[in-house]
Amino acid sequence: MNVPGDHPCFSADCRPNLGRIHLPVAPGCNIFCRFCSRGISGHLDRPGQAFRAITPREALGALESALRLCPEIRVAGVAGPGDPLAGPEALETLALVRAHHPSIIGCLSTNGLALYESMEGLLLAGVRTVTVTVNAVDPRILSALNGGVILDGRTVAGTDGAEILIAAQERGMRLASQNSLAIKANMVLVPGLNDGHVAEVARRVRDWGANLMNVIPLIPAGGLAGIPAPSAMDVERAAREAGRFLPVKRNCRRCRADACGVPGLSDFSREIYGPGWPRETFSHG
């Protein structure tokens, strides 16, 4: 599928006519990233953070409020605070968006563990673009970045869990590509762990159907708080490696799970989700 030109997270620049809203309806997660810093915050400017988690019906109201403030919005996506496919809320939300605002692009960002099993729901909800975070395709490397996965109610850790996640990402991305979804692969660059693995990740995700790759520098946190963030030169070197196999997005803003506006130009998240919102629904599940 051609990458949609009206999606700011899939485009080469931040044009003032391309806005997006992240709808924070996904509180739970199904994997344990060692660098994760997921939760409720009004000031931490990083992925996995939101003022609060909301219900699908509340998300529809948030979108309608956002469109009044920022008519440039072209995309409604779910990017957390947890994983959108760890529970039913994201697909319920995107189905509501499609029913009430069919011109808005439906999008989500996932670790890919449940992507294959969720495909029918994604298609019914009108999702057109997905971002899958693939930090390694070698189980030994991935097990250093991820503490395990939750599968059928049990936790699988170590290289066994890493193998499950990698296989699920491949199956899910191949099926997404077969169903004409545009796919962006995110890779969190972690010095000393996966920084020598970028080209192999890019080659593999290209073969699985990715249209675009995005190298994201680590924000030291969680179990990897002691690892320094990669330098701008490190990120550029990794982007060049990835660019041997796929187009690379180079203007990622590492947006919060409740971002709203034109990336890099406007931010209405506080007006939409900030103090005064009537409910507090976040769960650390």
Q: Tell me how far apart the alpha carbons of residues 12 and 22 are, in angstroms, rounded to a whole number.
A: 19
pLDDT, tens digit, for every residue of 59-109? 999 999 999 999 999 999 998 899 999 999 999 999 999 999 999 999 999
**What's the pTM value of the predicted model, to 2 decimals?**
0.91
| Cβ atoms within 10 Å, residue 9 | 28
- 3-state secondary structure (DSSP) of residue 135: coil
The answer to whether the beta carbons of residues 166 and 137 sit under 8 Å apart is yes
Q: Tell me how far apart the alpha carbons of residues 256 and 269 are, in angstroms, rounded to a whole number.
A: 9
Query: Domains in the chain, please, with CATH?
Result: 19-273 (3.20.20.70)
The answer to whether the beta carbons of residues 253 and 9 sit under 8 Å apart is no
Task: Tell me which residue has tokens 């675009």.
Answer: 212
- pLDDT at position 284, please? 29
Which residue, 162, 167, 169, 244, is CA-closest to 203? 244
Token code pair at residue 54: 């909301």
- pLDDT at position 282, please? 34
- pLDDT at position 171, please? 98
pLDDT < 50: residue spans in the chain: 279-285
| Cβ atoms within 10 Å, residue 244 | 12
Token code pair at residue 202: 């890019």
What amino acid is encoded at 112 in this protein? Answer: G
The answer to whether the beta carbons of residues 49 and 38 sit under 8 Å apart is yes
Kindly tell me the burial class for residue 277, based on how many C-beta atoms sit within 10 Å of its own C-beta (0-12, 13-18, 19 or more).
Answer: middle
The answer to whether the beta carbons of residues 213 and 179 sit under 8 Å apart is no
Residues 6+ apart with CB under 8 A from 254: 45, 46, 47, 216, 219
